[in-house]
Amino acid sequence: MSGTKRDNALEIAGLAMSFGGHEVLHGVDLQVSAGTITAVVGASGCGKTTLLRLVAGFETPDAGTISIAGRQVAAQGKCTPAHRRDVGYVAQDGALFPHLTVGANIAYGLPRGGRDATARVAELLRTVSLDDSYAERRPHELSGGQQQRVALARALARKPALMLLDEPFSALDTGLRASTRKAVAALLAEAGITTLLVTHDQEEALSIADQVAVMRAGRFTKVGTPQGVYLDPGDRFTAEFLGDCVLLPCTVTAGTAHCALGVLPVRDTDVIGSATLMLRPEQLVATTVADDDKGSGVATVLASEFRGHDVLLTVDLGEHLPPITVRQHSVAPPAVDAKVHIQVNGSAVVFADERH
């Protein structure tokens, strides 16, 4: 066990927090391995920002503990001040000092009394892919993406044990958001900086994190690799929060599910009998068949939405079921009104039917 703890740059155990009698976090546990990125994703108001503020040292927990790099920094009634936690913090808007130059903003994060601050600022600018000349600019002269990179450079200046990112890309437009988060993720990975990212953007969490933690109403519903939480979400809420789902009634017996698409293999499950089957739309492939073809998995294309690299087909399976969505390559897709056979790739996930 000691080896595991030493490899975790952040350890959260039993963390609870209430405001005005309303419990926001309910016994949260989380481990973040050194040098990795963990994304906490959830809807607004689920508690993810409160979690980040507790880790940063801006709030004191009602119960539970927080340890950073093996040192306990928070427990019930105990809170190490934020400036003594060895963390870097990048806010949603970057929070640069408008009256200071870029160089002075970054130098503000350097240890006081340090020598050769100018050289260190230039090095940090290059680290975030900005030219040395940016040191003389003011924040208002920068784009949103450049401001975020400067804020990151300032946070990196102290070489923190843990980097905290609070919705760092949400203020950027779509194209800039994608390129900036990719650059930041590469930078953090190259520097080996352990990072805790809070976001409401599922795509962002899945694309840059080594570990994803899905939060709902102050609890984690699933923690694991991006692939793991997406393909095997554990419950219907997590499945639908992380992306589009194809949901069908089914009957589970001996590791297979019988549904309108035929008999499908399912992931390891204890569910037996009546259940709900979940597939991702990209697991399905629609192939045109003869109009008189019948049988399991034969359906009719109701609508087609061309999206460049792929196409979304709305497909009617009949049997009084709601239409399902198929996402597949856009080269020569089946036409609207065509009869198609639905092929399923990979295994399905099943959820026990809720009993009221």
Residue-wise pLDDT for 190-239, tens only, equals 888 899 999 988 988 999 999 999 999 999 999 999 999 999 999 999 99
At 355 the pLDDT is: 52
pLDDT value at residue 210: 95
For the chain (length 356 residues), average pLDDT per consecutive 10? 61 94 94 95 92 94 94 90 90 82 87 73 86 91 85 85 88 76 84 91 91 96 96 94 95 93 90 94 94 78 94 93 94 94 94 70
For the chain, what are the domain ranges?
Answer: 2-236, 244-352
Superfamily of chain region 244-352: Nucleic acid-binding proteins (2.40.50.140)
- Give the model confidence (pLDDT) of 307-331 as tens digits: 999 999 999 998 889 999 999 999 9
What is the third-level CATH fold of 2-236? Rossmann fold (3.40.50)
* pTM reported for the whole predicted model: 0.85
Q: Which H, E and C letters describe the chain, residue by residue? A: CHHHHHHEEEEEEEEEEEECCEEEEEEEEEEEECCCEEEEECCCCCCHHHHHHHHHCCCCCCEEEEEECCEEEEECCEECCHHHCCEEEECCCCCCCCCCCHHHHHHCCCCCCCCCHHHHHHHHHHHCCCCHHHHHCCHHHCCHHHHHHHHHHHHHCCCCCEEEEECCCCCCCHHHHHHHHHHHHHHHHHHCCCEEEEECCHHHHHHHCCEEEEEECCEEEEEECHHHHHHCCCCHHHHHHHCCCEEEEEEEECCEEEECCEEEEECCCCCCEEEEEEECHHHEEEEECCCCCCCCCEEEEEEEEECCCEEEEEEECCCCCCCEEEEEECCCCCCCCCEEEEEECCCEEEEECCCC
